[in-house]
Structures are given as structure tokens and as C-alpha cells.
């Protein structure tokens, strides 16, 4: 119960890895705002958390829209009175075709940036006043271990996830005096319904064969790092990137 009575917003928290984040934070005692553009999924995850004895609400949010992210923060404060933790998990990836960079449509590039970078910026902006007022906050941004490898065929996604790292470091400098800590995690190729649906078995096996720990990575493998960064155990850590990919990349 390292997060007892903390209030956490998880974007993209209704399904996939985000749903596991939401559930695990609840198990650690947090009150969870499950924020997702797929509102049905958000409600289902919040319902499961509540049925398990936790406290959660579902919020319909488009993180690329400022009014929507502001409404998300207001819902959290209205329900729970504060915001302690923000997990910037929502992003565009699995729906993106794998193709050479010169075949990426400009509007698709812009959409990826609007969600993966602008969306993260807007979410941080929306929770900042509440965190600043209480002189406390933990922001955890989700990057990707593909940034170390320069993996081809989803250039916009890789670029956006590299941007998460620069954003994390610069924001940590700006909000440190408010006791708001900003860190990032770079997961490896992680098994979830969205990942599996967009990848062939051969592609997945190639990743496993390059890991030091030669097995599939599951959302649960990320949870210890997320809880650590969200809890008081990491109160003197900020501006950092923690790689969790079974030794696929060395960082």
C-alpha cells in the first residue's frame, strides 16, 4: 500500500498496458482516474477496480484536445479533491502501419505528434496547478526502448517517443522547485492485446531472441518501476529514464 490515499490519473488507462497500470496503482492504495478516449473501456476498468474494493472513476478524454484534458483534471479534483500522480501512457502506436519513412502521410505524422507529444504536454499542463498548489506531484511519462535502436518503419512513433525523453528532462528542471518530480520509463516490446494484434509471431520472436532475459515481456513487468516512481521511495529522483526491456537495449 505504498500509494495509500494518493490520487492517480492514468491516460489510456482503460485497456492494454494502461488498464494494468490502473489496477496495480489501485492495489497499492491509490484512487484512480481511468482516462481514455475509449470511454467504454475506461468504465469497464474502473468498474473492475471498484468491484475489487478499490476506488476509481472513468473519464472520457481526448488528450490532444486542451479542453478535454482540462475537464479530465477537473473531474479528478471534483471526485477526489487533489491530483498526486499522472501516468502519461496514452499514445498512438498499434494502429500505425509499418512502412518506410517516405511513405508516411503528413497528416498521419501530425496526428502521432498531436497525441504522443502535444497530448503529454496538455495533460501535464492540466494537472500542474493542482500539484503546484499542494507542492507535490509525480509525473511518469511512457517512452519506448525502440529509441535506443533507431528501429525503422514507424519513424513518427520512434521520433515522438524520443521527444518524451527530452520533454521529461526539461520539465523536471522547470517544476523541481514545486516538488513535482518527472521521470520516464522506456518499456520494451510488451505483450498486450494491442501489441499482439499489430505484430507477427516472427517479429515478436526476434525481439525475445535479442534479450538477456529470453522470454516475453508482460505489462506486469513494468509495474514495479511504475509504483516505485509514483511512491515516496523515489522522492529524490527526477529527470530520469528507466529502461525496462529485459536487456534488449543497454542504457
Q: Please list the active-site residues.
A: 157
Please report where in the chains the cell 501512457 appears, as a residue.
89
Burial class (CB in 10 A: 0-12, 13-18, 19+), 55: middle
Indicate the DSSP class of residue 151: -
3-state secondary structure of 94: coil
Task: Record the cell numbers describing residue 75, joined without a space.
Answer: 473531474
Nearest to 222 by CA among 180, 179, 191: 191
Nearest to 5 by CA among 52, 48, 71, 54: 54
Provide the edge-to-edge strand list for the sheet that holds 85-88: 55-60, 31-36, 7-11, 85-88, 137-142, 180-187, 241-244
In DSSP notation, 153-183 reads S-HHHHHHHHHHHHHHHHHHHHHGGGTEEEE
Amino acid at each position: 500500500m505504498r500509494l495509500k490515499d494518493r490520487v492517480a490519473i492514468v491516460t489510456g488507462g482503460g485497456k492494454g498496458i494502461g488498464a494494468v497500470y490502473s489496477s496495480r496503482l489501485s492495489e497499492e492504495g491509490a484512487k484512480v482516474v481511468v482516462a481514455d478516449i475509449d470511454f467504454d473501456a475506461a468504465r469497464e476498468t474502473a468498474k473492475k477496480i471498484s468491484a475489487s474494493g478499490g476506488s476509481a472513476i472513468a473519464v472520457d478524454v481526448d488528450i490532444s484536445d486542451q479542453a478535454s484534458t482540462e475537464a479530465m483534471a477537473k473531474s479528478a479534483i471534483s471526485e477526489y479533491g487533489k491530483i498526486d500522480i499522472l501516468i502519461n501512457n496514452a499514445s498512438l502506436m498499434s494502429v500505425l502501419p509499418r512502412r518506410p519513412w517516405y511513405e508516411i502521410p503528413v497528416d498521419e505524422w501530425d496526428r502521432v505528434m498531436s497525441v504522443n507529444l502535444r497530448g503529454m504536454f496538455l495533460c501535464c499542463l492540466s494537472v500542474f496547478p493542482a500539484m503546484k498548489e499542494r507542492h507535490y506531484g509525480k509525473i511518469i511519462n511512457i517512452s519506448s526502448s525502440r529509441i535506443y535502436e533507431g528501429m525503422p518503419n514507424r519513424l513518427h512513433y520512434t521520433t515522438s517517443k524520443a521527444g518524451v525523453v527530452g520533454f521529461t528532462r526539461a520539465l523536471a528542471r522547470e517544476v523541481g522547485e514545486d516538488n513535482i518530480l518527472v521521470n520516464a520509463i522506456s518499456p520494451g516490446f510488451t505483450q498486450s492485446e494491442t501489441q499482439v494484434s499489430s505484430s507477427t509471431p516472427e517479429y515478436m520472436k526476434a525481439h525475445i531472441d535479442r534479450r538477456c532475459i529470453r522470454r516475453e515481456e508482460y505489462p506486469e513487468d513494468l509495474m514495479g518501476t511504475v509504483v516505485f516512481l509514483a511512491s515516496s521511495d523515489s522522492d529524490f529522483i527526477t529527470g530520469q529514464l528507466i529502461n525496462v526491456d529485459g536487456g534488449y537495449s543497454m542504457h
